[in-house]
Amino acid sequence: MDTIDKQREMWLLSDAYKAKHINNILFAVSQEEVTQIIGEAITSFETIHSKSKTIISFAESVLADINACNPMKKDAQQWSNITLSRVLLNRIRLHLTADAV
């Protein structure tokens, strides 16, 4: 990985990048959009050839923040988006963990 890729990876792991995706997930209007948002985030890591453990770390970090969401402060669509993102991120995490073994 060259210097530019390392800088890009640092941005992808930043709190700002993570917050952007969580916000996009919360305000997505459909399940397809949630799936697309998560897919694009993972593809961003894959394009710079990040290691599986880096992608797993990102997924776990997003999951931790999503799990901290208070359902009483979210509407039905947001809660649906949170639920779907949990499923998708856990699948990605488990798939990458299995591949790393």
Query: For residue range 31-63, what is the model confidence (pLDDT) as tens digits?
Result: 999 999 999 999 988 887 778 888 898 899 999
Distance CA 47, CA 5 (A): 9
The pLDDT assigned to 79 comes to 94
* Strands, E assignment, 27-86: none
**How crowded is residue 70: how many other Cβ atoms within 10 Å of its Cβ?**
6
For residue 97, being part of any structural domain is answered with: yes
Residue range 79-90, pLDDT digits in tens: 999 999 999 999
User: What total of structural domains would you count in the chain?
Assistant: 1
For residue 92, being part of any structural domain is answered with: yes
For residue 94, being part of any structural domain is answered with: yes
For residue 41, being part of any structural domain is answered with: no
Q: Residue 75 — left, alpha, or beta (φ > 0 → left; ψ -120 to 50 → alpha)?
A: beta
Verdict on whether the full-model pTM lies above 0.75? yes
For residue 19, being part of any structural domain is answered with: no
For residue 1, being part of any structural domain is answered with: no
φ and ψ at 89, to 5 degrees?
-65, -35
Q: What is the domain extent for residue 71?
A: 51-101
Structure tokens at 19: 């917050």
As a dihedral over the C-alpha atoms of residue 36, residue 40, residue 42, residue 44, rounded to 10 degrees, the angle is: 180
For residue 36, being part of any structural domain is answered with: no
